[in-house]
Amino acid sequence: MTRRLSVLRVARVYTLLLFYYGFFLFPMVWIVVTSFKTTGAIFSGRLIPRLSDLTFTGYQQVWQFSPFLTFFRNSTITALGVTALALVISSPGAFGLSKYQVRGRRGLVVAILASQMLPPVLILVPFYTLVVTLGLSDTYVGIVLAHTVLALPFCMWMLKGYMDAVPSALAEAAQVDGCTKLGTFLRVMLPASAPGLAVVAFFAFTVSWGDYLFVSIISGSNRTATLPLYLFQLSNSLQLRWDMIAAGTVLTVLPVVILFALVQRWLAEGLLTGAVKG
């Protein structure tokens, strides 16, 4: 709008924004504050903590006296594996779908969208059988495969949207200049869709980092289980330690929030590129 904003209008916008972002941010603020409280303070019903309510006990308990670090390591290994695999598979796939006249291309794109209709719980049993048959139960490989496939359709769709926007002439010019097909892909297409790659990497990472369902099936023990299972176990123990649950949650969310801060300026466009940009 080119019209100047009136003071009243600005005040109204800020008030409404305050409601929205109060709702979005307060649960996060509340759990961060709780994670620094003593158990007594958590059960005191005080809104504003006193100085004596504050402590690091929750973090100390989680870090030293619980298997948190094992789960954190498992989550990191799995999520990084998923990110790498999703990038390695989806970027050539998206390039092929975007710039090559592959037979059945449109059908494939439709299939990728339609895969969002499948209930994950429906594929659990055959998938479990497959994992057991391949000897992959309770292994990182099994979990990485499952998460990669969860993330892959959306990754390919997003990246295809990005690569559609890279002019075909650019790729053709590179070929004329003597670039091989592979060279064109690596030196022209990948750099040209770098923000898309960042968003896809982030998306794959968060899918893996947050999944509960498939890990709960594939991980028979805590050897390969990831952080969502840790939080689930904490919240289902006989004696609920809310300081530990809060601290564990904050530590689980922290890596995602840091990565989010890095990619956030491309995220919205990246997620929508398939839907809005056509």
Partner 1 sequence: MRSAPDPSAARARVELLLDPGRAFAAAREAPRGEWFGYVLIFPGVLLIGIVVLYPVLQSVLLSFTNANLLSPARVFIGLQNYRQVFADAEFSTGLVNSATLTAAAVVLELVLGMGLALLLREKVPGIQIFRSLTMASWVIPVVATVMMFDLMVLPQYGLFNILLDRLGLKQFDVFWFGNPLTAMPTVVMMHVWRNTPFFGIALLSAMQMIPQELYEAAEIDGASPLQTFWRITVPGVAYVAMIMVIIHVLWTSNNFDFVYIATGGGPVDSTLVLPVFVYRQFWQNFQTGFAASSGVVLMLALMTFTILYVTRVREREA
Does residue 276 interact with partner 1 by CB under 8 A? yes
Q: Which of 87, 146, 200, 225 binds partner 1 (CB under 8 A)?
A: 146
Which residues make beta-bridge pairs with 37? 54
Does residue 197 interact with partner 1 by CB under 8 A? no
Q: Shortest approach of partner 1 to residue 188 CB, angstroms?
A: 14
Q: Which is nearer to partner 1, 56 or 260 (CB)?
A: 260
Q: Which of 22, 60, 73, 100 binds partner 1 (CB under 8 A)?
A: 100
d(CA 32, CA 16): 24
Which residues make beta-bridge pairs with 54? 37
Compute CA distances 169 → 161, 173, 183, 233, whole Å. Answer: 17, 6, 15, 54
Does residue 133 interact with partner 1 by CB under 8 A? no
Q: Which is nearer to partner 1, 6 or 64 (CB)?
A: 6
Which helix (H) or strand (E) segment is 255 a member of?
helix 242-276
Residues 148-187 that bind partner 1 (CB under 8 A): 148-149, 152-153, 156, 164-165, 167, 181, 185
Phi and psi angles of residue 54, each rounded to the nearest 5 degrees, phi first? -90, 140
Does residue 50 interact with partner 1 by CB under 8 A? no
Cβ atoms of 72 and 222 closer than 8 Å: no
Does residue 56 interact with partner 1 by CB under 8 A? no
Does residue 84 interact with partner 1 by CB under 8 A? no
Residues 232-261 that bind partner 1 (CB under 8 A): 232, 235, 242, 245-246, 249, 252-253, 256-257, 260
Binding segment for partner 1 among 48-56, 57-65, 66-74, 115-123 (CB under 8 A)?
Answer: 115-123
Give the position of tokens 């008030």: 15
Q: Which is nearer to partner 1, 69 or 276 (CB)?
A: 276
Biggest alpha carbon distance in the chain?
Answer: 73
Q: Which is nearer to partner 1, 52 or 116 (CB)?
A: 116
Cβ atoms of 236 and 28 closer than 8 Å: no
d(CA 248, CA 228): 10
Q: Which of 52, 119, 221, 238 binds partner 1 (CB under 8 A)?
A: 119
Does residue 194 interact with partner 1 by CB under 8 A? no
Binding segment for partner 1 among 49-57, 64-72, 105-113 (CB under 8 A)?
Answer: 105-113
CA atoms in the 13 A half-sphere facing the CB of 56: 3
Residues in contact with partner 1, counted by CB under 8 A, come to a total of: 108
Does residue 42 interact with partner 1 by CB under 8 A? yes
- Give me the amino acid identity at 191: P
Q: Which of 126, 133, 221, 238 binds partner 1 (CB under 8 A)?
A: 126
d(CA 171, CA 116): 31
Which helix (H) or strand (E) segment is 204 a member of?
helix 194-210
